Structure 1
Amino acid sequence: MNTNDQGRIAPRRPIILTSPDFRASDIAETEAEYVVRANYAEAIAQAGGISLILPYQSQHIAMLVALGDGVLLTGTTPGHEALPERREFELELIRQTLQAGKPLLGICNGMQIMGEFLGGTFTTSLPDTAVDHIPADIPDRMAHRIAVEPGSMLASIAGTTEVSVNSLHRHALTGAGRFRIAARAPDGVVEAIEGETDTFCLGVQWHPEYHLSEFDRAILRRFIEQSAGRKSQAGSPEACSVRRRLAALGLALPEASVPPGAFVGALTTGNLVTVSGQVPLKDKAVLCKGHLGGAVSLDQGRECARWALLNALAQLELVAGGLDRVKGFVRLAGYVAATPEFTEHGAVIDGASELLRELFPTCWQHARIAIGVGSLPRGVPVEIELTAVTNGGEG
């Protein structure tokens, strides 16, 4: 429990997941270190957040993103390239952060890796102009002016369209992608980007953590405010994280179908919801018909499993009162219409299980059975039933 100097409970600060650099050891591999300059953490603290430094462990990203309120991608050690392990980790961290709808701020190399994820490219040769992008070994002084794009989020933070910034970079972002260029240096080098996403997504080429101007402080404050704001809105229908993840995957829940018989689509018992078997309907039509091992390929079967799961989630949402009320899953049963020779039933139902993991990264685990059958209703190749745990009547 946090308390202030008067002993009163203080509000929880937003947790900012911070990607570090990696420093190898000349002594032994066991002495290698994850490192972050102290002024990153201090700048986050002064803006109202608290930094949590992340190891390069991609298998834990989903859990970490669920824990954090925002993500900061830091720059690399001056004069050093980012390790492949760091690049791979940060690309996955960006993907899951945006999928979860959480604020993202990239600084220097952090902006460049954001731009790469969003479709841009790197250049390692900066223009030969009077603009010095590496004026000193430490970016503790103003280096050049930047032109801020009118109407951009960055312009709303700056309150003007021209400001001075520090600089320490050898690479630059080029090309187009799913981002808007928010600022350029006088020589045309991209100095800031804003992701075309539904959440705060800002990359800056300079180092605002040095707090050389009120503009630098304002950027960090806006990032922390967005992180805190997202946390406070987590329970609202508009902030439904599952629907945001669906949108990030280019998917949407279908309309819950009317059961074609004397049964209900889903039934609640205590805090358990059992969803009746659902077939792969897309736009109220059967996605495909046939048998695995016959006319239906493995990839088609997996896609059918995904759509059958989406239909099951539509029924679950209807009964549970929202997918953000789901606390976990008990069992997923998959039925696969297949020829006698077909044996990859589990691989087909993986299509549903993997989608469940993407949509519910912190509570997707479930028991499962995959059963081969001779035929299924309406001639479909896959049917899915699901049992979920909800928070019942809790708010």
Structure 2
Amino acid sequence: MLARKILVVEDEKNLASNIRKSLQKLGYSVSDITESGEEAIKKVAETHPNLVLIDICLAVEINGIQLADIIQNNFHVPVVYLIDRYEYKILQKNQLSEPFTYIFKPLIESDLHFVIEMALHKHQSEKRLQEEKQRLTAIINSMGRGVIVTYANGCIQMMNPIAEILTGWKQSEAFGKNLVDVVSLVDKDVGEAIEIVTHVIEAGEVLNLPENCTLINKDGKEIPIGDNVAPIRDRNGNITGAVLVFQDITQRKQTEAELLRNAFYDGLTELPNRVLFLDRLRQAIERGKRKSDYYFGVLFLDLDNFKEINDHFGHRVGDDFLIAIARRLESCLRSGDTVARFGGDEFTVLLEDIKDVNDATNVAKRIQDSLRLPLSLNGNQLCTTASIGIAWNCSNYEEPATLLHDADTAMYRAKRQGKASYAVF
């Protein structure tokens, strides 16, 4: 056994001398013997003992703090009390009667050796546990995601700094509170609250957060989040809690929305593009197959004098002109209809749930009237007209391309008739 230094705090000289002899006989080194708490603190700082033996009579409070707490918390040295049987009540009253924290007087060497070794072993075990806990905490705190650990009853055990930032709650505020009172999660798809931790603990398996999971933080701010919740098990496989790992996916959502917009919307006018228009037209055709009384129409528009405007005033004015035309076309339609930029100065319109072709021709007239009104761009008064071809599902169309071809054919017929007009296929 390696020699271990022990500090003895005892004011009875004979007892102190006997303790020294017993400790030396057992192979320990007595670093010093002191007679007061203040002196004991100084000696611990100077000699760095492995353990301190304190007579319970000298276990006074210093500035309102127990001597043992000062030694253990500041110097990380274990303390063992020397007590008489009747003094055991003092330990119990001060909640100090844990195993291997005291030994009864008169001392028996075998008991003294056993208690000291167990106290040292317990201290080392607690030290290793604390170090492991600190290491785990450091790992969790260094993660770039929010982490919240709960007990099995759903109450919060710990939060890392990212979780504090996202939720708006400090760990000191949230500790012991039920997770649902701190982390408000809502599924935006269905508008319902999510209690995923409860489901994880009941199911005993990892569950991903819903695709449109939104965190409503302490200040009411809505943050889209993603990741998962996993159960925590002890070495016997029993679930002791859950860990929620989450991150702010606002940037990802914005990127996805941007990619979606680039794929389905025109970058200049922000109208649906050819791809989205064809998809909606295909859906309308399928709907018409299922419902015999469902009618829809397609308008194919070509601006009559856009090339002259673009050549005369330049591409910037030409782009602004197309944007203004897009807004004009939107103003002529119902909210459920679709106007798309099909390419260049060509636009298409899908009119859904119309009564007959007259509804389509009325919209064409409304568009013509709107386009005739002059546009003021960069100090210039610009006017245009459009040739419009109309096709509607009086025939059994199978493919969007066929219907668009017919509308395009009608548009060229209107252009041949002198422009600024419409024709029905």
Normalised by the size of structure 2, how large is the TM-score?
0.28
Q: Comparing both chains, which one has the higher relative contact order based on Cα–Cα distances under 8 Å and sequence gaps of 6 or more?
A: 1
Higher helix share: 2
Which protein is bigger by CA-based radius of gyration?
2
Normalised by the size of structure 1, how large is the TM-score?
0.29
